[in-house]
């Protein structure tokens, strides 16, 4: 996937599931399931409910994303 074709949004982690699946809330009534990007998994960055994160989406499927950054 070309980086120009990526949709980036910021949201708050609402729920954490087993297997590294997270429910992210972007606004009222706007939610999506997301997984951790490889770098976050490699460096064991912890994501907890309430954390603000940056999520990348494919323009073809805005219901599943990839968490690429956790804000401090």
CATH of the domain at 50: 2.40.50.140
Per the structure, how many domains does the chain have? 1
pTM for the whole thing? 0.90
Q: For residue 7, which of 69, 57, 51 has the smallest C-alpha distance?
A: 57
Please name the residue that has the structure tokens 């949201």: 11
Domain span at residue 16 reads: 3-70
Would you give the DSSP letter of residue 17? Answer: E
Read off φ and ψ for residue 54, nearest 5 degrees: -105, 130
CB 67 within 8 A of CB 35: yes
21-47 pLDDT per residue, tens: 999 999 999 999 999 999 999 999 999
Q: For residue 16, which of 44, 42, 40, 49 has the smallest C-alpha distance?
A: 49
């Amino acid at each position: 996937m070309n980086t120009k074709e990526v949709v980036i949004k910021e949201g708050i982690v609402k729920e954490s599931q087993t297997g590294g699946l997270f429910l992210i809330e972007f606004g009222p009534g706007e939610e999506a399931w997301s997984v951790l990007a490889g770098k976050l998994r490699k460096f064991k960055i912890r994501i907890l409910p309430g954390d603000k994160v940056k999520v990348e989406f494919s323009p073809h499927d805005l219901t599943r994303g990839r968490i690429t950054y956790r804000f401090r």
